[in-house]
Amino acid sequence: MTTSTDRRVTANISLTLDGRYHGPGGPGDLSAIVPYATTEVGRRHLDRIWQTATTALLGRRNAEGFLGFWPSVAADENADPRDRGYAKWLVDTEKVVLSSTLAEAPWERTRVLNAPTAEVAAELKATGTGDILVNNSASVIRALLAADLLDRLYLMVCPEIAGGGRRLFDDGLPGTKWTLIQQETGELGEIAMVYDRAR
């Protein structure tokens, strides 16, 4: 039987007003998200998500997308220090990528696991220290919500309506209660919030 440490499973995602995690053009369209992620509030939000985390848990799509973006930010001395802080953390930290198709790890310090999300999260919680962070991998976050394994949710709501596409909070998730522990509103109307699972 798997025992548990005091590690928390945390997740960060930005959503439109209608609950989508992308713009009107579909999953590759981040036009409804990016303008708000680069505000002062958005960058402070990014800075807070990784400070207590020691493991990044990612889906394959995000792992490959992040690999094409964040290492160059980590190396860019002119990048915003908050962006660079997250980028350096991501490059240097332990990464676990959930995939049934990847044959080898796309990054250094990365393990690829072909196993159910809930099983992997429970095993990670049972060993080590520090938070386990899922950043923007909607399929992983949804699976953790379905298994009630998410302890903290970093959520940014962007003041746009995508009008179509996948939502994070699909029907069929179990009913759960959350406690708001931090909230900050930006000049563009974005709202950054931190919720802890009330157990």
Q: What is the structure's pLDDT at 38?
A: 93
Model pLDDT, residue 3: 57
pLDDT attached to residue 4: 58
Q: What's the CATH code, domain 9-197?
A: 3.40.430.10
pLDDT tens series, the chain, 199 aa? 455 568 999 999 999 999 999 998 988 899 999 999 999 999 999 999 999 999 999 999 889 888 889 999 999 999 999 999 999 999 999 999 999 998 888 788 999 999 999 999 999 999 989 999 999 999 999 999 999 999 999 999 999 999 998 899 989 999 999 999 999 999 999 999 999 999 9
Domain ranges of the chain: 9-197
As a whole number of angstroms, the distance between CA 62 and CA 57 comes to 10
pLDDT of residue 26: 84
**pLDDT at position 2:** 52
Query: What's the pLDDT at 105?
Result: 86
Q: What is the pTM of this model?
A: 0.93
**Predicted pLDDT of residue 103:** 84
